[in-house]
Structure 1
Amino acid sequence: MIDLGISKLALIGAVALIVIGPEKLPRLARTVGTLLGKAQRYVADVKAEVNRSMELDEFRKMKESVEDAARDVEHSIKTSASDFEKSWSDVTHSPDTSPGFEVFPEYRHPKKNWRLKQGATPQWFKARTGMRTRTQSGAARVARFRPRPGRKP
């Protein structure tokens, strides 16, 4: 950087005042100021672009490392799952090799619709056997069977 002190700036200003003249000096100063401002903004933009490209490269490297780690984890999970499935199939298909291990049949849904079964019960049968025909909340049921305070049993 150029080392500009107050004495050097005063000397440059005095020479400019003599060479350019007092009429044109303010306009020249404004022009120089705007050009310096534009140059500073351009340098700042270039620095920001360089920093962004460096960060982008770092993010790419980080992304690749995370993807590699994810692939490794996925591969290890697949291998362990296949080992587990293999050992599970060995255990379930050969019950005589492990004593005391029973193989139960797979659960099958009975394919019955209990709502239809309940709805098919005739009303006279429900009334005779005491089945509920209307639903009641728990609070209503408690209030219905709670002893009243005025009566003695």
Structure 2
Amino acid sequence: MFDIGFPELLIIGVVSLIVIGPEQLPQTIRSIALWVGRFKKGFSDLRSEIERGIGADEIKQQLHNEAILKEIEKSKAAIAQTTQDAAAFATQQASALRPTDSVTQSKRTPNDRAE
């Protein structure tokens, strides 16, 4: 949120020590921390109330379900493509083996056919 580094915090600390004084600085820091905590809690409550009001959880769940359904459809398409490729490969291999079977049958001797 705020891009405050160590040098900036050091400058803020020194200035507040000079302005507020060492006696009042701890009490001032506690008060500031208390107000920051209240602000964060109030903002968090407001955010959760708005999310509940617009049904953000339901929308998130629906988007998640749609993403899962898309992934399932992609998987189904990939499986179907793989099945088609495998069937085409099996057909190709079967047709490649058929001429070899006919050649081996014609080369058999009459004694082989009798067995």
**TM-score by structure 2 length?**
0.51
The answer on 1:85 being equivalent to 2:115 is no
Larger radius of gyration: 1
| Secondary structure of residue in 1 paired with 2:107 | helix
Aligned partner of 1:59 in structure 2 is 79
Residues 127-138 of structure 1 aligned to structure 2 (within 5 Å) = none
Runs (4+) of structure 1 exceeding 6 A deviation are none
Partner letter of residue 13 of structure 1?
F
Q: Identity across aligned pairs (percent)?
A: 4
The separation in 2 between residues aligned to 1:86 and 1:104, in whole angstroms, is: 11
Shift of 1:77: 2.1
Partner letter of residue 61 of structure 2?
R
What are structure 1's unaligned runs of at least 5 residues? 4-8, 17-27, 93-102, 108-153
Aligned partner of 1:69 in structure 2 is 89
Residues 138-149 of structure 1 aligned to structure 2 (within 5 Å) = none
The answer on 1:43 being equivalent to 2:63 is yes
The answer on 1:32 being equivalent to 2:52 is yes
Cα RMSD (Å)? 3.7
Aligned partner of 2:43 in structure 1 is 13
Q: 1:10 to 1:75 in 2, by over 3 A?
A: same
Q: 1:105 to 1:63 in 2, by over 3 A?
A: closer
More helix by share: 2
Partner letter of residue 35 of structure 1?
G
Shift of 1:104: 8.4
Shift of 1:13: 3.1
CA deviations 1:45-77 (Å, max 9, x no partner) are: 110011111111111111111111111121122
The separation in 1 between residues aligned to 2:97 and 2:81, in whole angstroms, is: 24
Shift of 1:83: 1.2
Q: Report how many residues are paired.
A: 77
Q: 1:53 to 1:70 in 2, by over 3 A?
A: same
